[in-house]
């Protein structure tokens, strides 16, 4: 039951943003076995003055097309699954909407299953 937040510089067309959603959803489905219809994602766009990054941190040459992807998910995946997720997100975003691997920044936040309420005031996974 991942919840994904995508942050990027303002100005990309709707087709670009929808491609971000589609590629991220596919990567989570393929690597984390997330159901295809389990799509809880947001995009936040930021003006240049409100979007900062280290353009060469760790020797990675980032551009203004950098996207931050923060995923909150159950802490049930192995290190190998996580590595596969990061690779697959980068591959799919490279295909559509065409983001360079250097411009894909992913942060995974893991939580206990009982930390979710998906509606109706219930803890569905507890």
* Residue tagged active-site, from 2, 35, 55, 101: 2
Residues ≥6 apart with Cβ < 8 Å to 78 = none
Q: Interhelix angle for 14-32 vs 79-95, to 10°? A: 150
Cα of 109 vs its chain's centroid, Å:
11
The answer to whether 2 is a known catalytic residue is yes
- Contacts (Cβ under 8 Å, ≥6 apart) of 45: 7, 8, 9, 10, 11, 12
Residues that are catalytic: 2
């Amino acid at each position: 039951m991942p919840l994904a937040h995508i942050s990027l510089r303002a100005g990309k067309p709707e087709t670009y943003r929808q491609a971000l959603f589609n590629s991220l959803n596919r990567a989570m489905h393929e690597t984390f076995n997330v159901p295809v219809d389990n799509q809880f994602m947001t995009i936040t766009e930021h003006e240049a003055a409100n979007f900062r990054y280290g353009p060469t941190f760790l020797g990675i040459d980032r551009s203004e097309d950098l996207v931050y992807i923060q995923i909150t998910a159950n802490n049930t995946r192995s290190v190998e699954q996580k590595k596969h997720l990061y690779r697959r997100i980068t591959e799919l975003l490279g295909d559509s909407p065409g983001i360079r691997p250097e411009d894909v920044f992913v942060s995974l936040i893991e939580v206990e299953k009982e930390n979710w309420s998906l509606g109706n005031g219930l803890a569905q996974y507890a």
